[in-house]
Amino acid sequence: MLQRLEKFFKEQLQPASDKSTEEQEAKIRIATAVLFLEMAFADFEIDPQEEREITHSLQTLFSLEAAQVDRLLQEAKHKRSEAHDIYRFTNLLKEAYSREERIRILEMLWLLIFADGRVDKYEDALIRKITTLLGLEHGDMIQAKLAMRNKGNTLHKE
């Protein structure tokens, strides 16, 4: 009995293992992908260019190959369909990422918004909400928008 208690406390007090680190990274990837999907569907339609931008952003951000991105997006779509809101996803990113990393997410979201050549009112409202939920300021959102505006018009065009 004493050995079982000892084992239990050892397991509970042990530093996070590589497995839990991998699980945390997977959750962060999924949360990020959910935000990208949420933004892509904000105007109730997803443009092929937006799909390409999501894939490119996830590959770049997490150094993933196409097949890995496909699996990530499938999982993110499932999580998105189960979710009632985006708070749990933004909160995870807010806790896990530095300010600079959260701004990078905003920049990628702006690239996604600009991918179809227009900024819809629903996309604008959602980016404002995400900015706040990520613990960033309005000025951070505007700077990210301005930095990505020209890039969005020239990147990944076929």
Domain at 74, CATH number: 1.10.3680.10
Give a yes or no: residue 8 inside a domain.
no
pLDDT tens, residue by residue, 115-131? 988 899 999 999 999 99
pLDDT tens, residue by residue, 47-96? 899 999 999 999 999 999 999 999 999 999 999 999 989 999 999 999 99
Give the pLDDT of residue 12: 52
Distance CA 123, CA 8 (A): 48
Give a yes or no: residue 15 inside a domain.
no
Give a yes or no: residue 4 inside a domain.
no
64 near 28, Cβ under 8 Å? no
CA distances from 109 to 22, 60, 91, 112, 118 (A): 24, 13, 16, 5, 13
Give a yes or no: residue 102 inside a domain.
yes
Give the pLDDT of residue 7: 54
pTM to 2 decimals? 0.81
Give a yes or no: residue 142 inside a domain.
yes
69 near 37, Cβ under 8 Å? no
pLDDT tens, residue by residue, 21-42? 889 999 999 999 999 999 999 9
| DSSP structure string for 135-157 | T--HHHHHHHHHHHHHHHHHTT-
Residue 136: domain span:
22-154
Give a yes or no: residue 113 inside a domain.
yes
Residue partners of 37: CB distance under 8 A and separation at least 6: 54, 73, 76, 77, 80
63 class by beta-carbon count within 10 Å (0-12 exposed, 13-18 middle, 19+ buried):
exposed
Task: State the total domains in the chain.
Answer: 1
Distance CA 157, CA 84 (A): 34
Give a yes or no: residue 100 inside a domain.
yes
Query: Tokens 């990208």 sit at which residue?
Result: 36
Give the pLDDT of residue 25: 93
Give a yes or no: residue 34 inside a domain.
yes
